[in-house]
């Protein structure tokens, strides 16, 4: 798979489908970006028979310190389920990798590996830290153009700060994503230690209105009365719960604004991939049912 718009880097056969990584030149980021795609066996077969056929897809956003192929390495049960369902999965990277901005590697919770899925407005971050536009516009345009992703059959999921990204992107683009779910998401970024530290740099300390544009609880209020259906799983032994994730705030925002937020508290589970592997099949089934309607 080659094009002037992207370059294939790696390919691994898995569950009769293929996980591939690619690089592209990103205008939003101002440099090269990597992304991964899992092509289920049905894609391989159907695309050969009908190159024009469109396919349903689930976007998965990783959390802090992660990268585009970590799900492939750590969550085989998810890819097995995607293979069984015939569900393509798309994995963006989590941040710019070669911006060269002073301070972007000082701490694991901000900068390289931690772009927060926003479009920055504050210098020096505004030139490169535009992960929101990268995910929702240029990468989406690329996969629809080159990989036959159906524009009307895309859903989004994420973990931790990637969960924050999925909740925000879904609520800001209700006409472009069919469904949304999250594992242990940061749900109230303007009140989370992670969010406050990042947003002060990305938007400026006093620009609260811009902070709110990327806060899942604030967006639940913006979408009041729309009866949004969102699935969340949260472990009660998560070391970042409740202080950084603020799950109860999201539950309250759903109740106060007329939404159907399903928040499952999972006894004994922590923040990591063992937790995700346990419940990923139910999330993929949830999205596949929505995408198949």
**In this predicted model, what pLDDT tens digit does every residue of 157-186 receive, in sequence order?**
999 999 999 999 999 999 999 999 999 999
Instruction: Flag whether pLDDT at 17 surpasses 90.
Output: yes
Active site residue 283: no
Among the listed residues 134, 271, 283, 287, the single catalytic one is 271
Reply yes or no on whether 62 is catalytic. Answer: no
- Among the listed residues 215, 233, 238, 288, the single catalytic one is 238
pLDDT above 70 (res 1)? no
pLDDT greater than 80 at residue 281 = yes
Under 8 Å between Cβ of 261 and 221: no
Phi and psi based region of residue 258 (left: phi greater than 0; alpha: psi -120 to 50; beta: remaining): left
Across the chain, mean pLDDT equals 97
> What's the confidence (pLDDT) of residue 44?
85
Residues 6 or more apart from 30 whose CB is under 8 A from it?
Answer: 96, 99, 127, 128
Q: What is the pLDDT of residue 48?
A: 85
> Which member of 69, 160, 189, 192 is catalytic?
160
Q: Does the annotation count 238 as an active-site position?
A: yes
Name the pTM for this structure. Answer: 0.97
Structure confidence at residue 242 as a pLDDT band (50, 70, 90): very high
């Amino acid at each position: 798979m080659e094009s002037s718009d992207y370059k294939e880097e790696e390919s691994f056969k898995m569950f009769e489908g293929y996980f591939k990584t690619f690089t592209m030149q990103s205008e939003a980021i101002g440099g090269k970006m990597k992304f991964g795609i899992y092509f289920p066996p049905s894609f391989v077969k159907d695309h050969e028979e009908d190159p024009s056929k469109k396919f349903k897809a689930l976007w998965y956003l990783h959390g802090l310190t992660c990268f585009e192929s970590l799900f492939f390495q750590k969550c085989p049960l998810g890819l097995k389920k995607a293979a069984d369902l015939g569900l393509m999965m798309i994995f963006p990277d989590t941040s710019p990798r070669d911006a060269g901005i002073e301070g972007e590697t000082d701490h694991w919770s901000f900068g390289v590996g931690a772009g927060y899925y926003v479009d920055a407005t504050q210098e020096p971050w505004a030139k490169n830290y535009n992960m929101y536009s990268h995910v929702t516009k240029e990468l989406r345009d690329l996969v629809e153009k080159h990989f036959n992703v159906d524009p009307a059959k895309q859903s989004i999921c994420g973990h931790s700060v990637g969960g924050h990204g999925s909740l925000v992107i879904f609520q800001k683009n209700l006409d472009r994503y069919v469904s949304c779910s999250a594992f242990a998401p940061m749900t109230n970024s303007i009140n989370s230690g992670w969010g406050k530290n990042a947003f002060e740099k990305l938007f400026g300390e006093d620009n609260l209105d811009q902070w709110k544009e990327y806060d899942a609880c604030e967006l639940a209020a913006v979408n009041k009365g729309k009866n949004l259906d969102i699935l969340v799983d949260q472990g009660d032994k998560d070391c970042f719960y409740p202080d950084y994730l603020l799950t109860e705030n999201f539950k309250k925002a759903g109740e106060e604004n007329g939404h159907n937020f399903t928040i499952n508290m999972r006894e004994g589970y922590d923040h990591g991939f063992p937790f995700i592997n346990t419940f990923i099949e139910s999330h993929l089934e949830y999205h596949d049912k929505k995408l198949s309607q």
